[in-house]
Chain A
């Protein structure tokens, strides 16, 4: 009997994406423990990681981290392919599309806070659009729109400030290499 070993070549990029996705998944799980008055109103802490990845490693890496976080996060939370999963997927998709466009804004004027707020609006917009098409009549969602939009604005701004502070942290040069721990918030 021979043991066959299948070896998949792994690049440094793959490892980095896996590491960052794990970080995002950890934040997703931690966030699921926070009680929320309205389903759907969440801080979106994993978006901090995705925004950091976008700004440091580009859009492709951010899309990978977002997809892995979505899949593994919902696998761990037990709602894989449930309605909530598809809503989150729609939100993540629109959010990534918005980020793909918004990162071409002149960075002299538009920093991480802009990107984060726009992504948060994209996120909630994608979710509500799918919910409106698929789950609920638009009329029922209309009354909740201001709540969701306000949450997106506030949490988007807070997450953006966190990203800006992480990027401005003194260890910024060393992080480019291979450290797997996130820089601490000063």
Chain B
């Protein structure tokens, strides 16, 4: 009597396939297709993530420059002292956002289905 029989290997492979499918399904997230840019809480521009463009937004501290490429967007330069929104880098998934608080500029990726940024229980 062998430890592993033919069907066992099949079951193990099917299980591994299930795990891989679940991983892709649960962790890939929803790719965003538009970016919403706000300044001082007002929507300045809504742009599709389809072609390369650069948008400059003025805030109280200076100019924030936003770069858009197919499928992703980022804050390229910002006058804020800590540069947190710049260090976030490229945003790709629906619901991701970069906030440049001192300059009151924000960048939010939207997908087909609106995502929550935080859930509390």
Contacts and interface: CB of A to CB of B under 8 A. Distances in A.
B116 to A, nearest CB: 8
A54 B101 CA distance: 62
Contacts of B10: 109, 114
Given A113-B8, A114-B11, A146-B26, A161 B3 contact: yes
Interface residues of A, number: 31
A106 B5 CA distance: 11
**Residue among B5, B6, B25 with the highest chain A CB neighbour number at 10 A:** B5
A157 B5 contact: no
Given A111-B5, A113-B3, A136-B121, A142 B12 contact: no
Nearest to A109: B7
Contact of A117 (B15, B27, B119): B15
A142 B25 CA distance: 9
Contacts of A160: 8
Contacts, number: 78
Interface residues of B, number: 22
A121 B15 contact: yes
Interface in B26-64: 26-27
Contacts of A171: none
Interface string A100-137: 00000110111101100110010000000000000011
B29 to A, nearest CB: 10
Interface stretch (A18-26, A37-45, A75-83, A162-170): A162-170
Contact of A149 (B4, B6, B18): B18
A120 B89 CA distance: 40
Contact of A111 (B3, B26, B27, B121): B3
Interface of A: 105-106, 108-111, 113-114, 117-118, 121, 136-137, 139-140, 142-143, 145-146, 149-150, 152-153, 156-157, 160-161, 164-165, 167-168
